[in-house]
Structure 1
Amino acid sequence: MDTNRLSKKIEAILNRQVTKEAEAAQIYLSYGCWADGEGYGGVANFLFRHANEERNHMMKVMRYIMDRGGSVKIEAIKAPPSNPKNLQDCFEKTFKHEVDNSNSIYEIVNLANEEKDWATYNFAQWFVKEQIEEEKLVMDLLDKLKIAGGPKASNESLFNLDKELAEMPDEVPLAREATEDNPE
């Protein structure tokens, strides 16, 4: 008996999101390695934690597909983009990436609405809220960097920003509750 309650289109778009979340994790890992190499240990730690968060998002989508009787398809992911030129570039690229991910979530919401798949529509709302918070978090970092002098920030300002990110609690206060061990 076929127990799949996802249309082919919904299953495909959700599987694309699985890949996007995996790619997001790789981007955060890559930027974290870059930041560490530049001496920004706090920024690196922040980015590494967000890499894990993106992986948790991937697991959450995978679990949803399986719970609805669908098939998860693990696909190859693209290599991360080139390293940032500086911290400003890093945060700007991160922001653009988050906006792109938000647009991908909106595509899921729109398709679910079009197909009247209210379970998927409801599931995607968690991600809509999460993306609002993700974008705001990066905008706040850009604002702090702007106050510090932007691309011309002093070493002391960058040191203080790095220190602030290093001291952020490991549980960044975002909407997510999913973990790799418990993707529900």
Structure 2
Amino acid sequence: MNKNRLSSTLQNGLNKQMTQEALAAQIYLSFGAWASGEGYGGIANFLFRHANEERNHMTKFLEYILERGGKADIEAIPKPPADPTSVQNCFEQVFQQEINNTTGIYKLVKMSFDEEDWATWNFLQWFVREQTEEETLALNLLDKIKVAGGEKATGEALYALDRDLEKEPDEATLAETKTAENP
């Protein structure tokens, strides 16, 4: 008896996204190691926390595939990109990595909708919200880096940014939570 409740295309897509989440974790880990080596302990701490978050995302995909009776394929992940050339370059790459994750999630949402797999569609809604949050957070960080001077940021500005990121919340406030009374 076949207990797999996922189509082969959706199962393959979910496995691909699981691997993408593992790669995202490695990118954050790699960039955190770079930041630590450059003396940016706060930035490193922020990136290491996000590496753990991406591993948790990977695990959510793994568990969902298994709960639906599917086969989880654990594949090798590519090596993370080369070390960033600057703090700004680091967060530009982080933002691009989050866009890549969002693209993958959106493809899965569309696929689950087209296949009328409402359980998977519902499961993916958490990731839609999460990716909105992750992109917003990355954009906010890029704005802070821009204010600090971008590629020409002084040591003082980068020091202040590093201290801020050590305490930066791991979530961004989304527009959907805003009101006229609470902008």
Aligned 8 A contact 2:24 2:51 in 1: yes
Which amino acid letter does the alignment assign opposite residue 56 of structure 2?
N
Structure 2: gaps spanning 5 or more residues: 174-183
Tell me the distance in 1 between the aligned counterparts of 2:171 and 2:163: 18
2:85 is the alignment partner of 1:65: no
Which amino acid letter does the alignment assign opposite residue 92 of structure 2?
E
Residue of structure 1 in register with 2:177 after alignment? none
Tell me the distance in 1 between the aligned counterparts of 2:16 and 2:80: 17
Residue of structure 1 in register with 2:100 after alignment? 100
Aligned 8 A contact 2:32 2:48 in 1: yes
Structure 1: gaps spanning 5 or more residues: 176-184
Aligned 8 A contact 2:136 2:172 in 1: no
Deviations for 1:36-58, whole angstroms, at most 9, x for unmatched residues?
01110000000000000000000
Which amino acid letter does the alignment assign opposite residue 156 of structure 2?
E
Residue of structure 1 in register with 2:40 after alignment? 40
Residue of structure 2 in register with 1:136 after alignment? 136
Which amino acid letter does the alignment assign opposite residue 143 of structure 2?
D
Aligned 8 A contact 2:105 2:124 in 1: yes
Aligned 8 A contact 1:28 1:48 in 2: yes
Matches within 5 A, 1:1-184: 1-168=1-168, 172-173=170-171
Tell me the distance in 2 between the aligned counterparts of 1:78 and 1:86: 22
CA shift at 1:174, angstroms?
Answer: 6.1
Tell me the distance in 2 between the aligned counterparts of 1:15 and 1:83: 27
Aligned 8 A contact 2:133 2:171 in 1: no
Q: SS at 2:76's partner residue?
A: coil
Aligned 8 A contact 1:130 1:174 in 2: no
Residue of structure 1 in register with 2:180 after alignment? none
Structure 1's consecutive aligned runs of 4 or more residues displaced over 4 angstroms after TM superposition are none
Tell me the distance in 1 between the aligned counterparts of 2:126 and 2:102: 12
Tell me the distance in 2 between the aligned counterparts of 1:174 and 1:7: 34
Residue of structure 2 in register with 1:181 after alignment? none
Tell me the distance in 2 between the aligned counterparts of 1:93 and 1:76: 21
Which amino acid letter does the alignment assign opposite residue 110 of structure 2?
N
So what's the TM-score if we normalise by structure 2? 0.92
User: What's the Cα RMSD here?
Assistant: 1.2
Aligned residues: 173
Which amino acid letter does the alignment assign opposite residue 16 of structure 2?
R
CA shift at 1:166, angstroms?
Answer: 1.1
Question: In structure 2, do the counterparts of structure 1 residues 174 and 152 end up closer, same or farther at CA, with 3 Å as the change threshold?
Answer: closer
Tell me the distance in 1 between the aligned counterparts of 2:149 and 2:129: 31
Q: SS at 1:71's partner residue?
A: coil
CA shift at 1:3, angstroms?
Answer: 1.1
CA shift at 1:114, angstroms?
Answer: 1.0
Q: SS at 1:74's partner residue?
A: coil
